[in-house]
Amino acid sequence: MNWKKHLAVGSMALLFAMGFSASAQDKDKSSAKPSDPQIVGVVTAADQIDIDTAKLTLKKTKNDQVKQFAQQMIDDHTKLQNSVNDLGKKLNVKPEPSDISKSLKTAAAAETKKLQRLNGKAFDTEYINHEVAYHQQVLDAAGNVLIPNAQNAELKSALEGAAPLLQGHLDHAKQLQSSLGSGSSN
């Protein structure tokens, strides 16, 4: 599987995981299986959210390591957006809104408000703690929700191959968390 497919699927897993995690708290929605178009819709929303959060981080942080991480998120998620769009076209799947994507956007708005109020080390700590939790949720959701429920064989295969990319983002965020001396306060 090429790196573009890894990135596209990693993005889908990441975005879906955050939205699924939020919607799983609602008893009526926790058993709903997302359709491929809904997954693509969640991925599209989540990529943009990650890019926007990283851009905010570049404006606010003074820490070079955090800046480098944020730039990596912008670069990776921009590539992911393009790859997701290409995969959707290939599979003839158009993104559809869902309760998951709505939950994702609501959670992102709350996190953005929180980050906008912070500065300095408090900002860096919140951003990195959030990234650690976010990527762990993605890995969990990929294994427990996405792969088991994927309808398209190519999509399922791509999801299975995405774990190393997701693990790399998590490991990088954990390394930063350690260097900042922050624990997971989220």
Task: Write out pLDDT tens, residues 89-141.
Answer: 888 878 888 777 788 789 889 999 999 999 999 999 999 999 898 778 767 76
129, part of any domain:
yes
13, part of any domain:
yes
Domain that holds residue 63: 3-17+34-180
| pLDDT mean over 26-47 | 66
28, part of any domain:
no
68, part of any domain:
yes
22, part of any domain:
no
130, part of any domain:
yes
Q: Can you say how many angstroms the Cα of residue 170 is from the centroid of all Cα atoms in its chain? A: 11
Which CATH number do you get for residue 136? 1.20.1260.10
23, part of any domain:
no
29, part of any domain:
no
Q: Which of 18-32, 46-60, 79-93, 128-142 has the highest mean pLDDT?
A: 46-60
* d(C-alpha 55, C-alpha 71), whole Å: 8
* d(C-alpha 91, C-alpha 75), whole Å: 24
pTM above 0.75, yes or no: yes
Number of domains, the chain = 1
For residue 71, give the nearest of 81, 59, 84, 58 by alpha carbon.
Answer: 58
What value does the mean pLDDT of the chain take? 76
More confident residue, 161 or 89: 89
